Structure 1
């Protein structure tokens, strides 16, 4: 084939860029042209973005994308990671946006993207439309109890839990369960566990909100009886012999979805190429983080004060899947460990987001009449995930947006095609 003239080259390049821009525009309608999925995105509209994160192990993909140069290799040389002190601060800064001193996106509790989009948690009470571009991880959280309940040896299935809670409540000091944000994942895991074991979280427990890094200190001071949080804080509690883990959340729901990589929808619309490049870098970082040969280095990077501010001993064991529950029970290389890429961990299944929205309806964080399907379609950008994965040359790309019917530890099933049937079958709930 004869070499291209400069004019021919420019014409072809312009056509490719135009087709890419068209396909990205179609992405907003839920349609994605094949060309965008087969070509790297064009020049980023901006190289700068401010992303928030909380001091948790599952912030790893953003941290690694920054530390190992994955963002920079995609031309996103101005990515700034901003440590947030709590999910409430993350919420406030997302509402502000970087133009007003806040952030453009974040390592985020998945339900928060929906609660912000509806305006349910915004300070202004106005919608803050968000886009979920990827799931950052599955599994990797835990529910822990204080040593006052060590004799009970509670696990995921705890028929004696309701009796123990009633006994505590009879003292006049109500059973306190700490979560990280109302309507967030940890709130939903805690509520599900309590309700499945016969404890009504709204009537029989006092749910309190504590930022993740403060969980262990509050347990030590006797502020709470149990907490649900991500790692490394469950591990630190055990290491300090201040309590024990009743369960890791993969036991509650195998390979459950957890954090999300989310951006303000207006930022994605304004910077489609930059958004795809960020997503490509995050996917690359997830693959790196899931490689066992990198686990020790990952723990060392995360341990830094500017990130999680924990010891490698607090971070490394559960990253490897070595779970010391603090009760004498030790599991090595658990298949329920935190995953960043394996088994489609990164893909943002719409069926999973449907469960989160349904659970927030269950507990009154969203109204009963919420258009679940419409809301998920607005926030979840699995189309962009597929485009980024194809641009990265990856073959592990789910063809559909549902992982199928999910089964929880208590035998309850969730079919995203019929969330109302799930809601109807639940005995304990608090619909608004």
Structure 2
């Protein structure tokens, strides 16, 4: 299929997170130009902004939590607009971080957190970055593993990713589930420590995707496929360990993620620093490419649908029917874009 003649730039949104790396590196490596695309990157505050700008046509495409495609398509938390993804950027990549104050009170894991909640006087407030993102689902799953009931035993609130660390530091949050580098910043500042990674809670869960409106994918089909092809190549670059230093140097720039290379390195160099002296090997903390990683397969969509229901975030299964999974996660577009790959 030939690309549509591009009469305007593709406005591509992202949020300041380590897993925005493919979008940013595609620009730094000249991959958009390689595929004949004119792309303008737009750094956004959080996922509600990303969703609204996609819905109202202020962005053509965006880095987004996988659950946002389902939520927007079903009118959950917004007007209903059919959206889809033809590319999964990454699997895993999140962690649950708790305050250093809880550590001082003897909290070391979920069991001791439950004890602190049961016997403590304070009602804990935990942050997630969006109601329909994996972070909310993962946090709720982790809490229930230790018989802590979300919305009864703790308060869960939505806070944009770049603001969770500041709110933890100010004492407005007792913990949160977020992507990197916002867990590592809490560890570096000694205001928090990570109690669990998303790889431990739900291995290989779908995390961020390339989100577009379905009508954009239809009207600008060739352009959309070339964008997927460029970003698919960028995902492969980000997956290779020998490229991580360059990636971290780029992400550290103010216009992208804008944090120290040290904070980025804590999760991107093959280990993960939980804080308080615990450092472990985590070569799969960020999975940007590899077998089954980038394909927007039906099983990834169904993971989101079933976990939205299991978590209690969505109570009515008719609102998010599983038979729509293939409409939202388009493996056919991923495969078609793969045929447009341009070897160096």
Same fold flag (TM > 0.5): yes
Match of 1:380 in 2: 329
Residues 303-345 of structure 1: CA deviation (Å, up to 9, x unaligned): 111111111111123111221111221113x233201012332
Do the aligned residues in 2 keep the contact of 1:219 with 1:225 (CA within 8 Å)?
Answer: yes
Q: Please tell me whether residue 115 in structure 1 is matched to residue 115 in structure 2.
A: no
| Partner Cα separation in structure 1 for residue 99 and residue 50 of structure 2 | 28
Once the two structures are superposed, the pairs formed by residues 68-217 of structure 1 within 5 Å of their partners are: 68-77=29-38, 79-97=39-57, 102-122=58-78, 125=79, 127-151=80-104, 152-155=106-109, 158-168=110-120, 171=121, 173-217=122-166
Q: Max radius of gyration: which structure? A: 1
* Larger fraction in strand: 2
Match of 1:343 among 272, 277, 291: 291
Q: In the alignment, does 2:177 pair up with 1:223?
A: no
* Residue correspondence of structure 1 range 369-408 to structure 2 within 5 A: 369-370=318-319, 372-392=321-341
Match of 2:314 among 347, 350, 365: 365
Question: What TM-score do the two structures reach when normalised by structure 1?
Answer: 0.76
Contact 1:348 1:380 in 2 (8 A): yes
Partner SS for 1:324: strand
- Aligned-residue Cα RMSD (Å) equals 1.7
Could you tell me how far 1:371 is from its partner in structure 2? 5.3
SS for the counterpart of 1:344 is coil
Matched, 1:60 2:12: no
State the partner residue of 1:15: none
Aligned equivalent of 1:276, options 209, 225, 229: 225
Q: How big is the shift at 1:193?
A: 0.6
Return the TM-score normalized by structure 2. Answer: 0.94
Match for residue 294 of structure 1?
243
What are the superposed Cα offsets for residues 242-286 of structure 1, whole Å, 9 maximum, x if unpaired? 111001110112222111111111111001110110000001101
Distance 2:98 2:326 in 1: 37
Say which structure, 1 or 2, has more relative contact order (CA 8 Å, 6+ apart). Answer: 2
Shift of residue 153, structure 1, vs aligned partner: 4.8
Structure 1, 57-66 or 47-56: larger mean CA deviation:
47-56
How far 1:369 sits from its partner (Å)?
2.1
CA distance in 1, matches of 2:159, 2:31: 33
Aligned-partner Cα distance in 2 for 1:344–1:368: 27
- Size of the alignment, in residue pairs? 340
CA distance in 1, matches of 2:313, 2:272: 34
Structure 1: where are the runs of 5+ without partners?
Answer: 1-19, 21-41, 395-432
Match of 1:329 among 266, 278, 281: 278
Local SS of the residue matching 2:168 = helix
- What per-residue deviation string (whole Å, max 9, x for no partner) do you get for residues 53-103 of structure 1? 1000001111111221111110112x1111111111112111211xxxx11
Structure 1 Cα separation of the partners of residues 321 and 292 of structure 2: 23
**Superposed displacement of residue 141, structure 1:** 0.8
Q: CA 1:154–1:393 in structure 2 vs 1: closer, same or farther (change >3 Å)?
A: farther
Selected match of 2:4 from 44, 47, 50:
44
Q: Distance between the aligned counterparts of 1:327 and 1:94, measured in 2?
A: 40
Q: Structure 1: how far apart are the matches of 2:180 and 2:266?
A: 10
